[in-house]
């Protein structure tokens, strides 16, 4: 005797969820009982990243990326894909490694023709990194100048000789250091404005 099967689908997406042996109808032995959310029509064979969806009359094959990562192209926010079908407009499917890289280095990615692309090998990105490094260096010089200004105020209040051989005072020493730092700061600001 041949076994008859029914094919069930879930309530959310109506995605194929399993094949089960049908039970004969006890009142009509020539018929089989069909549970809710099921059909006797066999779904098509699907490939990886696909799922069969019951549309009410037949099975339709749709993309299935549930559990994978996607990135919103405009905001670079990463989320899990929790729906069946094509990737939503404004989003892009990405691997776990790329998702992590986008989260750690969002400036490394830019929208190009509607696709979030890695721009780390471009002149634009190299210039941006250079600008960021100049800004960090500028911040370090400004912090050092602030510390020197504090020391200079103290040296004005307590004048004393730093180097007996040259007669240089602490105030003169700090002033010379401040001049060097300010010259470096001016140079950095010119470089930042030129880029």
Considering its fold, how many domains does the chain have in total?
A: 3
* Same domain, residue pair 21 and 84: no
- Residues 135-189: tens digit of each pLDDT: 899 899 899 988 888 888 777 777 788 877 888 888 888 888 888 988 888 888 8
For the chain, what percentages of helix, strand and coil (3-state, to nearest 5) are there? 35, 25, 35
My answer on whether 128 and 102 are in the same domain is no
Of the chain, the end-to-end C-alpha distance in Å amounts to 81
pLDDT confidence of residue 119: 92
Whether 106 and 129 share a structural domain: no
pLDDT at position 191, please? 83
Taking CA atoms, 96 is separated from 81, 85, 92, 139, 140, in Å, by 12, 20, 13, 35, 36
Residue in 10, 31, 35 with CA at minimum distance from that of residue 20: 35
CA dist., res. 165 & res. 39, Å (int) = 100
Check whether residue 52 and residue 94 sit in a common domain: no
Q: Output the six-digit token pair for 61.
A: 């094959």
Which domain does 10 fall in, by range?
5-63
- Pair 51, 62: CB distance under 8 Å: yes
Upper half-sphere CA count for residue 68 (Cβ side, 13 Å): 20
Res 195 pLDDT > 70 = no
In terms of domains, do 127 and 107 share one?
A: no
Q: Give yes or no: residues 127 and 151 share one domain.
A: yes
**pTM for the whole structure:** 0.62
Say yes or no: 58 and 73 in one domain: no
Co-location of 24 and 84 in the same domain = no
- Which helix (H) or strand (E) covers residue 53, if one does? strand 50-54
Structure tokens that stand for 186 in this block: 């001016």
138 and 94: one domain?
A: no
Same domain flag for 128 and 185: yes
55 and 109 in a common domain: no
Tell me the pLDDT tens digit for each residue of 115-136.
Answer: 999 999 999 888 888 888 988 9
Query: What is the rounded CA–CA span in Å between residue 62 and residue 57?
Result: 15
Indicate whether 134 and 190 sit together in one domain: yes
């Amino acid at each position: 005797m041949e076994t008859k099967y029914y094919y069930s689908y879930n309530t959310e997406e109506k995605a194929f969820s399993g094949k089960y042996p049908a039970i004969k109808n006890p009142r009509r032995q020539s018929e089989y009982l069909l549970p809710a959310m099921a059909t006797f029509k066999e779904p098509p064979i699907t490939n990886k990243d696909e799922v069969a969806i019951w549309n009410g009359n037949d099975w339709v094959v749709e993309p299935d990326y549930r559990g994978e990562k996607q990135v919103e192209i405009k905001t670079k926010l990463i989320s899990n894909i929790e729906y069946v079908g094509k990737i939503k407009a404004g989003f892009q499917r990405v691997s776990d490694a790329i998702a992590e890289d986008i989260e750690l280095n969002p400036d490394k990615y830019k929208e190009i023709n509607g696709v979030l692309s890695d721009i780390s090998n471009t002149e634009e990105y190299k210039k941006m990194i250079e600008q960021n490094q100049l800004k960090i260096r500028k911040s370090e010089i400004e912090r050092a100048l602030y510390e020197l200004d504090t020391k200079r105020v103290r040296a004005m209040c307590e004048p004393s000789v730093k180097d007996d051989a040259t007669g240089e005072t602490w105030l003169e020493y700090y002033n010379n250091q401040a001049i060097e730092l300010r010259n470096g700061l001016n140079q950095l600001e010119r470089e930042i404005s030129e880029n």
